[in-house]
């Protein structure tokens, strides 16, 4: 799943009273972690915790961690060192501060976190965060808790359901997890080891949560999964449903105006899903479909189980039914053994696809993955030079796509106030941030706008019509 280098704090959703404990959740990494942080907040609400955006006023600080990039664990321990000092100061004042580590680093490190950092009270894995309230109760009684063991069949049985007021406070767009884990075992990736094997959430749970979100004012839902298009379930007609079938069913919910999904694997992009892009106006014309490399030799070493040509043919099929599809992707440069010629193949596939947006990274060894033991590791300076060249091309394509939108009239979902008075920020069908003059009362509306300009990371628009 794509990761963003920026970490985010969970938003405050309500005003706590004076007797309520406060929790600050720091979220690193992918959209799934954002979703998990929201769910942890929901679970803690039943324990009397209210969210805060100020770490200094929190009674509980949770680090929801990501293990995808190099030195992720080191960054966590560095943050915990700072929190240790905060906890000592609080204790000296006779005040409580509990510290927890959640997410993929917690799953990978487990007891090692407690050994290295005595200030940590709770370590909770990404599959067990529904047990966080019980773990905190044990910690408050004096135990130091590690809870990372889980039964696969129980994965989606304990998701706490948010109250309507909590959902409404989050805005008009929401994430909805439908799948977790991955069975692809790419040699560079730690996800199968931290998130487990592929598990699909039951259809009824998904539909019920989607309906609750819409009832609370959500207009756009993004379906989440480490390999979201591997979702499978038995449908009401008795046959096996895939993600395409799920999207058709979700599109029937009145008031659900927009659907998205991320992250996909090319091998699971089936005919039914491609048909959904052709048929459903609610399914946005933006697809994140990672390829990682343009070299067949490197793709084999990565265990991607597709070739560059197969990927390009898939893109052509998708665009044949949805010509305005904007493509996004992931790329890794400097994978062990990558030659100059292999890297040139990657540049060629980027040129062929013409991405609207993409994420690119230098290869970093993840302990426990097959890639960490491969020979011919690439020198850091070579990886840095290749990444700079790749990102230069991708940024050029992103700017060109943004410029191609100028003059178009699009439907814009208004999401939140902008920085300037009278300005509202919305999302285009292609997931771009768009600034437009509008009223706060219009948040949640989808209005026609004309794109009139581009900025470094957003577009500018004017309303169309009365």
pLDDT, tens only, 213-231: 999 999 999 999 989 999 9
Identify the residue whose tokens are 């993409």. 358
Can you tell me the distance from the alpha carbon of 132 to that of 307, in angstroms, rounded to the nearest whole number?
A: 42
pLDDT, tens only, 408-436: 999 999 999 998 899 999 999 999 999 99
Q: Pairing relation of β-strands 423-427 and 409-417?
A: antiparallel
pLDDT, tens only, 232-282: 999 999 999 999 999 999 999 999 999 999 999 999 999 999 999 999 999
pLDDT at 120: 94
Structure tokens at 375: 């020979």
Is residue 165 predicted with pLDDT exceeding 70? no
349, 319 Cβ separation under 8 angstroms: no
Is residue 15 predicted with pLDDT exceeding 80? no
Angle of CA points 165, 166, 172, to nearest 5°: 90
pLDDT at 163: 52
* Model confidence, pTM: 0.80
Contacting residues for 268 by C-beta, under 8 A, at least 6 apart: 227, 229, 230, 243
Can you tell me the distance from the alpha carbon of 463 to that of 85, in angstroms, rounded to the nearest whole number?
A: 51
Calculate the CA 1 to chain-centre distance.
7
């Amino acid at each position: 799943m794509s990761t963003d280098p920026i970490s985010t704090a969970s938003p405050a959703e309500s005003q706590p009273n004076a007797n309520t404990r406060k929790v600050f959740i720091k979220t690193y990494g992918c959209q799934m972690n954002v979703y998990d942080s929201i769910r942890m907040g929901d679970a803690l609400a039943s324990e009397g915790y209210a969210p805060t955006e100020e770490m200094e006023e929190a009674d509980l600080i949770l680090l929801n961690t990501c293990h995808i990039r190099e030195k992720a664990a080191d960054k966590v321990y560095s943050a915990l060192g700072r929190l240790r000092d905060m906890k000592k100061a609080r204790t000296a004042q006779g005040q409580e501060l509990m510290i927890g580590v959640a997410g993929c680093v917690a799953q990978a490190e487990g007891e090692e976190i407690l050994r290295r950092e005595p200030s940590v009270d709770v370590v909770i894995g990404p599959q067990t965060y529904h047990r966080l309230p019980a773990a905190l109760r044990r910690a408050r009684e004096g135990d130091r808790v590690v809870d990372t063991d889980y039964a696969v069949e129980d994965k989606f049985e304990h998701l706490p359901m948010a109250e309507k007021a909590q959902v409404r406070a989050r805005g008009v767009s929401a994430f909805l997890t439908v799948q977790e884990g991955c069975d692809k075992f790419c040699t560079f990736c730690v996800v199968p080891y931290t998130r487990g094997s592929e598990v699909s959430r039951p259809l009824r749970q998904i539909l019920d949560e989607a309906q609750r979100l819409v009832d609370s004012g959500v207009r756009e839902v993004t379906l989440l999964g480490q390999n979201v298009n591997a979702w499978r379930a038995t449908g009401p007609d008795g046959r096996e449903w895939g993600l395409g079938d799920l999207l058709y069913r979700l599109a029937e919910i009145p008031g659900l105006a927009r659907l998205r999904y991320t992250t996909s694997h090319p091998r699971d992009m089936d005919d039914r899903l491609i048909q959904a892009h052709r048929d459903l106006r609610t399914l946005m014309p933006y697809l994140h479909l990672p390829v990682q490399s343009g070299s067949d030799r490197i793709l084999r070493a990565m265990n991607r189980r597709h070739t560059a040509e197969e990927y390009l043919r898939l893109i052509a099929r998708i665009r044949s039914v949805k010509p305005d599809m904007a493509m996004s992707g992931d790329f890794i440069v400097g994978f062990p053994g990558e030659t100059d010629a292999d890297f040139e193949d990657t540049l060629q596939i980027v040129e062929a696809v013409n991405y609207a947006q993409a994420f690119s990274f230098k290869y970093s060894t993840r302990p426990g993955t097959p890639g960490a033991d491969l020979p011919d590791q690439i020198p850091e300076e070579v990886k840095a030079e290749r990444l700079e060249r790749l990102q230069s091309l991708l940024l050029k394509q992103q700017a060109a796509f943004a410029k191609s939108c100028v003059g178009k009239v699009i439907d814009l979902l208004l999401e939140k106030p902008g920085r300037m008075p009278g300005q509202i920020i919305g999302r285009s069908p292609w997931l771009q941030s768009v600034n437009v003059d509008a009223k706060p009362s219009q948040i949640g509306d989808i209005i026609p706008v004309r794109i009139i300009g581009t900025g470094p990371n957003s577009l500018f628009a004017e309303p169309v019509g009365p």
